[in-house]
Amino acid sequence: MWGRGSGGISKPLWLEGGPDPSASSAVTCEVNAYVPQEAHVPWAAGLEEGQGCPRSLEGGKWFIATVQSPQAGYGVSAILHQEPPPPLPRKERPAAQRTGSVVTTATAVLSVFTRTPRLQSRLGQDVVIDCGFSGPSVRFSVEWRHQHGGAGRVVLAYDGASGRVSVAEEGARLFLDPQEGGNVSLQLQGVGVRHEGTYICTVYLPHMHAQQAAELRVLEPPKVALRPDPLSVAPGANAELACGISGYYPQSVTVVWRHRGPAGDEELTSAWESGHHQAPDGTFSFISYIRLPPVQPQDHGITFSCHVAHPALGETPLRKALVLHVAGSSGPSVEDAVGLFLIAFALFGFLQAFSRRVFGEKTKLQKVD
């Protein structure tokens, strides 16, 4: 009955992290009345030219049903047509009215679906937002719209009447193969912060259209640097540590300072932070500071660490650590001992080579004499 099947859908690109775990996982289903009508967007206006309204649209009832299951990674909207049921024989009408056993059936005329209702992407990656449809073998148009922060725009539009793409942002590509007419997925090349939001895929047929929405979330993990490195302080002096966090998105980030010494591991609460700065690419950065009390010789070897939590890091925070070296403290650390050993080893090799050369030259002189 249908000229286009679901077999034309390309395999979607599932990104690191899969569906957004913070999104609602409840399955939703909604059915509403639907009225077939002409489309009023420029790239679909020519689909009905010269056709008029088919008589098949005049009879029966029309519905649109939408099912969303983010956890299963699937969403579908279908336009349903219920033809008038054939009249029951007169003798069967009272029984059907008493039992309420009349069965209502409807046929799906147009179905639009997606297998990527929730996606995540890092900056600079290419993303495929899946969209496909099943319907009769007629001309169709496609519109991809982006909505975010109360604003919307058309990212890409395909005019089925003219057979060409009417609108296409830079880096936006439509998967449209004549042999696989059901695949109308959108590819975004080099994803940036500006691409985050809701993408609505609308498929237009003559006198009807249906759509599906997909959420794209941009997640970029932070880069962390701890200074000063190395951390060398004179006895009785103060020191200030700076933990620089940069290049992350979204802005939600948490920093915890800790130190580990003979008494064990302890969280430090005397930190303060600079304001968040947003770079031209939309990512954020800031610095967290902590000041150490006057350093004592016994503080030599204590480890100070900066722990950074961010949605792009999952449940494992990013940790950077420094070891405190107190100048003039008794007893070298493990790092100092390794360094001294390497220096002594190199010096021993140099002296050995030098002695061989000197004594070898003396032996030659004696033979000449």
According to DSSP, the residues that pair with 121 across neighbouring strands are: 218
Helices H / strands E in the chain, number of each: 2, 24
Coil, helix or strand at residue 13: coil
Task: Quote the DSSP letter at residue 317.
Answer: -
According to DSSP, the residues that pair with 58 across neighbouring strands are: none
| Average of per-residue pLDDT across 319-336 | 74
pLDDT digits (tens, 9 = 90+) for 222-269: 999 999 999 999 999 989 999 999 999 999 999 999 999 887 889 998
According to DSSP, the residues that pair with 225 across neighbouring strands are: 244
pTM here? 0.74
Which of 250, 255, 232, 227 lies closest to 318, judged by CA? 255
Cβ pair 241, 233 in contact under 8 A: no
Residue 299 pLDDT greater than 60, yes or no = yes
Cβ pair 160, 167 in contact under 8 A: no
pLDDT digits (tens, 9 = 90+) for 62-93: 999 999 887 888 899 999 998 776 666 666 56
pLDDT digits (tens, 9 = 90+) for 12-47: 333 333 344 344 567 888 999 998 888 889 999 888
Question: Residue 99 — very low, low, confident or very high, per pLDDT cuts 50/70/90?
Answer: low
Tokens 């996982």 belong to residue: 25
**Can you give the length of the chain in residues?**
369
Q: Above pLDDT 70, what percent of the chain?
A: 73
Region label for 294, one of left (φ > 0), alpha (ψ between -120 and 50) or beta (otherwise):
beta
d(CA 366, CA 358) in angstroms, rounded, equals 13
